[in-house]
Amino acid sequence: MGFPVSLDELLGDEVRRDPYPYYARLHELGEAVALAPDAPHAVVVHGYAAAQRVLRDPVFRVLDARYLDRAGVRWRDHAVLRILQASMFNAPAEDHARVRHLFGQALTARRVAALEPAIVRITDDLLDGLAEAGADGRPVDFMAGFALPLPSAVVGELLGVPHSDRAWFPSRVRAFDAVLEIGPRSFREIRAANRAAEELAGYFTTLLAARRAEPRDDLVSALARLRAERPDQLSEAELLANLIVTYNAGFRTTANLFGSGLTLLLARPAALAALRADPSLAPAYVEEILRYEPPVHFAVRYAAEDTEVAGVAVPRGRTALVLTGAANRDPRRFPDPDVFDPSRADNRHLAFSAGPHYCVGAALGRTEGRLALPRLLDRFPALALAATPGEPRQLMLRGHDQLAVRVVDPAADRPDRTARVDLAQPA
């Protein structure tokens, strides 16, 4: 029996650079496709309805510690995997519900809303920095100068990470997150991820101790208090792991929202002009950016019992690769899915996943995009790419590592020397 798709193609360089033609071919095959028996997954799920079903169905579960143990994965040998397995990211249903409920008590809508003045202040400070660095039309790296430091600073404000410490995080978070990418990881990547995990754990252990000694109005203090009040509901390992994962996820995904969003808009002058003319459209633009070029393209679930999805059998214990990036381009769900259209009605994408593991920081990411994107475009009317953007190679935390832009038009600021000479002539 032949199989119409192969993971080898998905993992290849061509598809990693531009997965959307591959996704379009998948959609022609239905909503899910069986893989060969020796493939690491039983099925690829790419249709919107089928992906929703897998992400919400309790039969399909995250790859928790029990699954890894049965699969023979020596995850306890690796600091990065120990942290991931202790976090909500991979917690089994009963532990996930318990920990998420406690985090929800601390990460309230009121706390997110209270961050809005800080988001505006941080945005404006970073725009000042871009303006200074890009004076006279010099190219600046948008990712390093704005897209990464903005959400990093915002999640730092949320958790209570001191301003002076925030520049320490990006390189460690990038190394930690490398193990999340689909496909095998090199020994060097795993070693770097473990080292980053140990350093992040050490940092947050110290910060927790400081906040226990002197509580403040931040998320770390609030969670430390909950841990003290309900030690049977939140272990120290769970608290530490979820602080690390919350920080990491809190700025990598939003940074890619800004980087991908800017490249999309600069390539579409009409859409860019419409948003500049009416900043109230920003929420709709954020949703379409997330649908069209999501920071996360896949999730993996295993079947706790024999089941099926979209008519494809999934035996007990086998995994389903859920391509949420493909589901966001499903023509059955989104008319003209390959058209960037911020005016879409009912734009309920899967960029933040769905079901119990829906992203806990979705509201914060949306708030950052809604507030910062119009301010960026208003501050720099001549904002333009200074070089062709590099093509992302990852499907998890997909985005640009660098993005060279000009924030002013160098021609507009160049002195008109001829006019000056003429004015200098005697009358």
Looking up residue 187, the CATH number of its domain turns out to be 1.10.630.10
pLDDT at 52 over 50: yes
Q: Tell me if 101 is assigned to some domain.
A: yes
- CB within 8 Å of 50: residues ≥ 6 apart: 31, 32, 309, 310, 327
Neighbours of 268 (CB within 10 A): 14
pLDDT at 414 over 70: no
Tell me the pLDDT of the chain averaged across its residues. Answer: 92
Q: Tell me if 45 is assigned to some domain.
A: yes
pLDDT at 354 over 80: yes
Q: What number is the average pLDDT over the span 96-107? A: 87
- Name the pLDDT band for 411 (thresholds 50, 70, 90): confident
- Whose CA is closest to 139, among 348, 406, 427? 406
Report if pTM > 0.75: yes
- Name the pLDDT band for 102 (thresholds 50, 70, 90): confident
- Nearest-angstrom CA–CA distance, 243 and 106: 12
- Name the pLDDT band for 4 (thresholds 50, 70, 90): confident
Single-letter code of the amino acid located at 51: A
Helices and strands (H and E) in the chain: how many: 21, 10
- Name the pLDDT band for 412 (thresholds 50, 70, 90): low
Please give the residue range of the domain that contains residue 12.
7-424
Farthest-apart Cα atoms in the chain, separation: 94
Q: Which residue has the tokens 């978070």?
A: 173
- Name the pLDDT band for 94 (thresholds 50, 70, 90): confident
pLDDT at 213 over 50: yes
Q: Tell me if 2 is assigned to some domain.
A: no
pLDDT at 415 over 60: no
pLDDT at 283 over 90: yes
pLDDT of residue 2: 57
pLDDT of residue 117: 97
pLDDT at 128 over 90: yes
- Name the pLDDT band for 115 (thresholds 50, 70, 90): very high
CA distances 226 to 103, 201, 221, 245, 423, Å, are 9, 19, 9, 18, 73
Going through 154-283 in order, the beta strands assigned E by DSSP cover none
- Nearest-angstrom CA–CA distance, 210 and 363: 28
Q: Tell me if 1 is assigned to some domain.
A: no
Long-range Cβ contact pairs of 278-282 (< 8 A, separation 24 or more): 279/374, 279/378, 281/342, 282/369, 282/370, 282/371, 282/373, 282/374
- Nearest-angstrom CA–CA distance, 75 and 179: 12
pLDDT of residue 176: 96
For residue range 53-79, list pLDDT tens digits in order. Answer: 999 999 999 999 999 999 999 999 999
The count of structural domains within the chain is 1
- Nearest-angstrom CA–CA distance, 254 and 258: 6
Q: What number is the average pLDDT over the span 109-115? A: 90
pLDDT at 311 over 60: yes
Sequential DSSP letters for 313-332: EE-TT-EEEE-HHHHTT-TT
Strand order in the sheet with 404-406: 140-141, 404-406, 384-385
pLDDT of residue 325: 98
CA distances 276 to 126, 129, 131, 156, 259, Å, are 19, 21, 18, 29, 17
